[in-house]
Copies of this chain bind each other. A is one copy, B any other.
Amino acid sequence: MSATSFLKRTGASKLCTRVVSAALSARSKRIVFGRRYYSGESKAIVFESFGKPLEVLKLHKFPLPDLTDSTMLVKFLAAPINPADINQIEGVYPLKPPFITTEYSSSVPVAIGGNEGVVEILQVGKGVSDFKPGDRAIMRHTLFGTWRSHAVAEEKDLTKIPFSGSEITAVQAATASVNPTTAYRMLKEFVDLQPGDWFIQTGANSGVGRAAIQLGNLWGLNSINIVRSRPDIDELKKDLAGLGATKILTEEELADKGFRKVIREWIGDSKLNLGLNCTGGESTTNIARQLSEGGHLVTYGGMARKPVTIPVSLFIFKDIHLHGYWLSRWSDNNPEDKEKIVVEVLNLIKEGKLKDVPVDESVWTESMSDEALLDTFKSGIATYINGAHGRKQLLVQK
């Protein structure tokens, strides 16, 4: 008697039957890919309900379905912890992940965390034409759930990385699609900046901020970069200057009215027509004050957890314009342009023109216990929540 028939005969619930069937099916396809071992199971960081990440995140294991002609088995090599991922878990992000039972073999609906990530293709269905085992790819859309060991994906879910592992590492690829692309688009979309023009930004040492400094520098733009004061401020200023930041100021320096004259002297007869904002609060108001007449202020984050506050006179008499930027909206409307920019960004990384974001890796290995996997991931989350000093937290699977 097969295990499945046994379950049926003993009156196990439909769900339970399906779970065990899937587990058995998975067990039967234990495979060794080159040096890599795959158990037929995915380990994932999930949550059952919205809440504080350290409280609601759990490790969940479930068998993956058999491949069809059009699907592929993929292994996640690296996946970052982005602000949007955290907001998603907290339930304050407008894109809600799907909560799933059957497909994840869970008795209660669970959602897998993470949106950005890089995978290696392990096995492809017969009908898959654009990918082959060994290829690497990034997520084409958000909401895939990237904090996991393995997945079954379709071709439409992935964008192939047209570079080898020695040209672009997994960690580089895992952080290339969101932050540099956001910076790239924000520098292009609102103002037709010309070489010699200036822009100003809060949160300049964020992933997007660092990308904006470097892309701006490549395109001949000058940048005024605002960062929070901190004990190692001189080191940070040196770091950002090394990326090509024209000027770097702390929020306190920016708030000092004396500095406004200094800023005007820096700019001279040039224009400061673009501000990028990922904080909110006072430093956002202060960068708005610096904009040239007719300038544009673009908000793409709210790290200070404060609203954007702008004096009425800046709207009326300085004719400033405010916008928001959300890469997901643009990507969904412009998937082909998104791919082009990602490839352009990866090429710049390969050529050393875009420097790596500083990262902390939470490393998963096949041999780790479930407790160790969860602890490792949560320590990355904790570091993120505590500020991480501008270092991107990544889940890396070796």
Contact = CB atoms under 8 A, between A and B. Distances in A.
A318 B315 CA distance: 20
A56 to B, nearest CB: 21
Interface string A298-319: 0111100001111111111111
A310 B312 contact: no
A94 interface: yes
Contacts of A314: 324
Contact of A323 (B94, B312, B321, B329): B321
Nearest to A322: B322
Contact of A324 (B92, B280, B315, B325): B315
Contacts of A322: 310, 315, 321-323
Given A316-B325, A316-B326, A317-B324, A307 B311 contact: yes
A285 B310 CA distance: 12
Report the interface size class on chain A: 20 to 34
A46 interface: no
Contacts of A329: 319
Contacts of A324: 312, 314-320
A332 to B, nearest CB: 12
Contacts of A315: 299, 308, 322-325
Chain copies in the assembly? 2
A301 B316 contact: yes
Given A94-B313, A308-B309, A310-B310, 12 more contacts: A280-B312, A299-B315, A299-B316, A300-B316, A302-B312, A307-B309, A307-B310, A314-B324, A315-B324, A319-B323, A319-B324, A320-B324
What are the 4 A-B residue pairs with the smallest beta carbon separation, nearest first?
A: A315-B324, A302-B312, A322-B322, A299-B315
A321 B310 CA distance: 13
A353 to B, nearest CB: 28
A299 B312 contact: yes
A276 to B, nearest CB: 12
A310 B313 contact: no
Interface in A315-363: 315-326, 329
Nearest to A304: B312
A94 B316 CA distance: 10
Given A307-B309, A322-B322, A317 B280 contact: no
A310 B300 CA distance: 13
Contacts of A94: 313, 317
A40 B301 CA distance: 64
A316 B87 CA distance: 13
15 contacts: A94-B317, A280-B312, A299-B312, A299-B316, A300-B316, A307-B309, A307-B310, A307-B312, A308-B310, A308-B312, A310-B322, A312-B324, A315-B325, A319-B329, A322-B323
A289 B165 CA distance: 47
A188 to B, nearest CB: 17
Nearest to A323: B321
B301 A312 contact: yes
Interface in A60-114: 92, 94
Contact of A309 (B301, B309, B318): B309
Contacts of A320: 324
A277 to B, nearest CB: 8
A19 B393 CA distance: 78
Nearest to A329: B319
Contacts of A299: 312, 315-316
Nearest to A305: B312
A271 to B, nearest CB: 17
A300 B319 CA distance: 10
Nearest to A279: B312
A329 B300 CA distance: 29
Which of A94, A322, A323 counts the most B-chain CB atoms under 10 A from its CB? A322
